[in-house]
A and B are shown apart, each in its own frame.
Chain A
Amino acid sequence: MKETGNADDSWTVGGHRFTSRLLMGTGKFRDAETMADAIQASGAQFVTVALRRVGGGSGADDLLESLLKLRGITLMPNTSGARTAAEAIRAARLGRELSGSPFVKVEIHPDPHHLMPDPIETFEAARVLAAEGFAVMPYMPADPVLARRLEDVGCASLMPQGSAIGSGRGLATADMLRLIVRGARIPVIVDAGLRAPSEAAAALEMGCEAVLVNSAVAAAGDPAAMADAFARAVAAGRSAFMAGLMPRGSETAATSTSPLTSFLSPVTP
């Protein structure tokens, strides 16, 4: 159990308390209304918005404007588009100015095609921004050592990849995620790669605090219905984690037909 857990099973990050464990991305939707409906259906209280999509000329194109109309939502601007720590730092400062949110999702992917996070630049930006008082939530490779380092410089949470962004490959990094969860004292939120609600449930079952989804909902046939499905899967996964999963078959104590330890003597010397 993480120290962020509470009696009502809410969780806390950067001084904010949330009951929903499903975070939503806001890109890739067919329109702002579909996005808003999906966010509402997901029950998400915490959503991320790309700074590059904020402040467009026409109102309908400005994601921030649409998001500010939603009630009960905490915004987390992200720095998607940044290639270096310097760019992410500038974007974060601008994001705080525009949204008033203390949160920033540091997202630095110098290769514009596969959008893999740069661990070196991410670490540097996180260090600087945490020192400036941001609640830093780094999008990061599922690397348990990097997770420790990011926690050490004061990040508010860790956001390791389930798999490549937009790939829909689910929890391809499951083994690394387990190591990160085991070591972390701050919330671990799986970000990127999820396609099916069952994968979100699996992330919660292994002890992740929450998951963030975007493509899986935005590219679904019915985004709002898919958002609702994710919300229920996340709740189920969390309940399963709290209930304590039974050990796997291979981990249960098997009894052998001829005892292996019968030679041990009860007599003390």
Chain B
Amino acid sequence: MPVWLDLPRDQAGGTATQEDVERALACSDPGARELAVLLSPAASPLMEAMAVRARDLTRRHFGRTISLYTPLYLANYCSNGCEYCGFASDRPQRRVHLKPSEMAREMDAITGRGFQELLLLTGERSEPAGVDFLLAGVSLAAERFHHVGIEAFPMTAPEYARMAEAGCSGVTIYQETYDPDRYGRLHRWGPKKDYLERLEAPSRAMAAGMRTVGLGVLLGLSDPVSEALRLFRHANHLRSTYWRSGIALSFPRLRPEAGGFVSPFPVDESMLARIIFAFRIVMPDVPILLSTRERPEFRDGMAGLGVTKMSAGSRTTVGGYGGTEAVDDGQFRISDERSVEEFCAMLRNRGLDPVFKNWDRVFMEAADG
């Protein structure tokens, strides 16, 4: 494990008192130590205070807005054996991929719902869903959306550069778990077994000029506090090295999926909320995403309390937005099945402005003169 990921012993937060939590909340420039304190058991009685601070900081840096995006799965081929994933290569899913004409139809169906930001997803690189396949998807998306991101397999720096050139401005790649032993056990086979290869992927994406890189851990795989502290170190390492790129954070919780994997470290909503509040407090200017994995009541409550970017009307099947009919079971089960209109109406009722366009492709085009 690289040195920048090490957790200093004195920052574990295990012995924190309520006084330490109050100090952390009042701290004008909180960092790793405060994060550990805010995630310690001592902070759990101070949830309300944390929520207030998280809301105020969110409002100051992002205003009363929530950015919206939607995911589009382009393929579900995979050569990895992730024990917790519905698309793992040993799952009895029907394997499909979208043809370019189908991608275009799906994308048109999505723009029809108002979205200007699209996240394209695939499984591990494998034929027929490799780099060129994804590039074709990016190019089609770049003609239709202002912001195009990808959540796929780790790539080399030149491959990321090709993605950027085709119009991709964001890369999302979660380490899933920062615990190397557990990582090795959960990723039973396939290229994803290589912990360092994945860990270094965000650096390569940033070196290739990606605008934003999304980081995250899959909560439920390992001790959430150490995961959060390592994620913080990873984010800080990237921010100091690649200062022209932005970080976004996401805290997906393990969902029931086809394989029936049982979470060894279940994270309840109150812990998830506390992790989001704590990250908002120590990283006040970083976008925090929340997907339709979570139930509507939780999403409604968290909008603006740290969370600044949300997906809506999502499908986790390959296609399924109306351009093609979905034939697989999806990567995981969605909890919030409301339509985009219903979701936006909820945001407006809570005094939040749903923002579909927060980026313009003119900034990407400038790169080629």
- Are A and B associated in one complex? yes
The 9 closest A-B pairs by CB, nearest first: A28-B63, A112-B246, A56-B357, A30-B64, A87-B366, A58-B114, A90-B366, A52-B360, A219-B59
**When chains A and B are docked, how far (Å) is the Cα of A20 from the Cα of B358?**
29
Known: A27-B63, A28-B62. A113 touches B246 (CB 8 A): yes
**When chains A and B are docked, how far (Å) is the Cα of A28 from the Cα of B358?**
11
Contacts of B111 in A (CB 8 A): 57
**When chains A and B are docked, how far (Å) is the Cα of A195 from the Cα of B60?**
10
Q: A91-B363, A215-B63 are in contact. List 10 more A-B contacts (CB 8 A).
A: A28-B63, A52-B358, A56-B357, A57-B111, A61-B355, A81-B360, A87-B363, A91-B360, A113-B286, A166-B61
**When chains A and B are docked, how far (Å) is the Cα of A88 from the Cα of B189?**
46
Known: A27-B63, A57-B111, A82-B363. A111 touches B243 (CB 8 A): yes
Contact with B along A26-61 (1 / 0, CB 8 A): 011111100000000000000000011111111001
Which chain B residue shows the least CB distance to A86?
B366
A213: min CB distance to chain B, Å: 13
Q: Which of A54, A87, A113 contacts B239 (CB 8 A)?
A: A113
Interface pair B61/A58, CB less than 8 Å apart: no
Residues of B in contact with A (beta carbons under 8 Å apart)? 59-65, 111, 114-116, 146, 211-212, 239, 243-247, 285-286, 348, 351-360, 362-363, 365-367, 369
Q: Does A212 contact B (CB under 8 A)?
A: no
Contacts of B369 in A (CB 8 A): 86
**When chains A and B are docked, how far (Å) is the Cα of A267 from the Cα of B355?**
80
A61: min CB distance to chain B, Å: 5
Contact with B along A108-150 (1 / 0, CB 8 A): 0011111100000000000000000000000000000000000
Interface pair B356/A110, CB less than 8 Å apart: no
Residues of A in contact with B (beta carbons under 8 Å apart)? 27-32, 51-58, 61-62, 81-84, 86-87, 89-91, 94, 110-115, 166-168, 215, 218-219
Interface of A is mostly: loop
Known: A27-B65, A218-B63, A219-B59. A61 touches B357 (CB 8 A): yes
Q: Which of B285, B352, B358, B362 contacts A30 (CB 8 A)?
A: B352
A16: min CB distance to chain B, Å: 25
Most chain-A CB neighbours within 10 Å: which of B64, B211, B348, B359? B64
Known: A53-B358, A82-B363. A28 touches B64 (CB 8 A): yes
Interface pair A61/B354, CB less than 8 Å apart: yes
Contacts of A87 in B (CB 8 A): 362-363, 366-367
Most chain-B CB neighbours within 10 Å: which of A28, A87, A112, A168? A112
Most chain-B CB neighbours within 10 Å: which of A27, A57, A62? A57
Interface pair A219/B63, CB less than 8 Å apart: yes
Q: Which of B351, B362, B367 contacts A51 (CB 8 A)?
A: B362
Contacts of B358 in A (CB 8 A): 52-53
Q: Which of B212, B355, B357 contacts A112 (CB 8 A)?
A: B212
Interface pair A166/B60, CB less than 8 Å apart: yes
B61: min CB distance to chain A, Å: 5
**When chains A and B are docked, how far (Å) is the Cα of A31 from the Cα of B62?**
13
Interface pair B351/A30, CB less than 8 Å apart: yes
Known: A30-B64, A31-B353. A81 touches B359 (CB 8 A): yes
Contacts of A58 in B (CB 8 A): 114, 356
Interface pair B244/A51, CB less than 8 Å apart: no
Contacts of B246 in A (CB 8 A): 112-113
Interface pair B243/A52, CB less than 8 Å apart: no
**When chains A and B are docked, how far (Å) is the Cα of A89 from the Cα of B362?**
10
Interface pair B362/A90, CB less than 8 Å apart: yes
Contacts of A27 in B (CB 8 A): 63, 65
